[in-house]
Amino acid sequence: MNFIDSHCHLHDPRIISDLSGIAGRARTADIQYMVSCATMENNFELTAQLSKDFSSILPCFGIHPWFLDSLSDQWKERLEQYLLSYPSGIGETGLDFTDKMADRDLQMAVFEHHLRLAMELERPINIHIRNAWDVFIHILKKMGKLKVPGLIHSYSGSADMIPMFESYGLYISFSGSVTNPKAKKVVTALKRVSKERFVLETDAPDIYPYLPEPQASQLNEPENLPAIAQIASRRIGMEFEEFSRHAYDNSLNLFHPLLQGKKDN
């Protein structure tokens, strides 16, 4: 089986020193590609460098809604410069209203800018939405269907919204949260997604999955993706091979614009 980790953060200071080990273990686990998302301007360059050093790493550039305090005056120019310099996706970007003190207007303005770039440059966009579904839907309705597909990462919304998101050109990505034995909503959501529209991710080094033999460090990494697929497929009653093949094919469809110039592993 082949796998693609559709959303992770390999620049993260908690894991960067072990990246050769992480990439090697991912290769052993048949992870063909890892989509590594920057989160703010000061990790754009590192994310770009990783994609040059490792043929299996595909970069995304964006500003995460948690890190809007880090925005420089030139963030738009910098973002566009990186997007134009590398075969890359956009993200991590989105809306997170979990913190009641968050500046919602700024989050919306920054996210809408990322969405416009995704339309203009025809790049896949890697979207984070937490506790902001109504506003997200409002923005989607205003902007219209994506020109090339994007994804909602580590989906936490209701199953009922999924057909509408699919109609806007969005894929739905599932992380280790689907392995939580208490997680019912996310399993119901996974059952609802079209076979052609679900993908898998680790969000490494975060969202450590519920594994039979967990690592003491609890630092997640892409090699855990097949175990996530194993548990997720069992929970929705689909054969592991069929489930994994769909997830892989769907990720390839999503991220093929990033594969230019990448040699096969």
Q: What is the DSSP code (8-state) at residue 198?
A: E
Omega prior to 92 cis, within 30 of 0:
yes
CB of 106 to Zn ion, least distance (A): 19
The number of CA neighbours under 13 Å toward the Cβ of 59 is 27
Nearest residue (CB) to Zn ion, 78 versus 128? 128
Among 47-55, 168-176, 195-203, 234-242, which window interacts with Zn ion (CB under 5 A)?
A: 195-203
Q: What is the DSSP code (8-state) at residue 177?
A: G
CB of 40 to Zn ion, least distance (A): 12
- Which residue of this chain has its Cβ atom nearest to Zn ion in the complex? 203
CB of 223 to Zn ion, least distance (A): 17
Nearest residue (CB) to Zn ion, 107 versus 236? 107
Nearest residue (CB) to Zn ion, 41 versus 92? 92
Site string for Zn ion, 47-86 (x = CB under 5 A): ----------------------------------------
Please give the size of the binding site for Zn ion, defined by CB under 5 A: 2
Alpha carbon distances (Å) from 178 to 24, 30, 58, 191, 196: 25, 21, 24, 11, 18
Please name the residues in contact with 194: beta carbons below 8 A apart, sequence gap of 6 or more.
166
- Other Cβ atoms less than 10 A from the Cβ of 62: the count is 31
CA 82 to CA 180: how far, in whole Å? Answer: 36
Contact 163, 131 (CB under 8 A): no
CB of 157 to Zn ion, least distance (A): 16
Please name the residues in contact with 140: beta carbons below 8 A apart, sequence gap of 6 or more.
165, 168
Nearest residue (CB) to Zn ion, 94 versus 149? 94
CB of 15 to Zn ion, least distance (A): 13
CB of 73 to Zn ion, least distance (A): 25
**Quick check: 12 binds Zn ion (CB under 5 A)?**
no
Contact 136, 17 (CB under 8 A): no
Widest CA span in the chain:
50
Q: Which of 12, 41, 201, 203 binds Zn ion (CB under 5 A)?
A: 203
User: Considering only residues 82-111, where is the footprint of Zn ion by CB under 5 A?
Assistant: 92
Nearest residue (CB) to Zn ion, 57 versus 239? 57
Sites of contact with Zn ion (CB under 5 A) = 92, 203
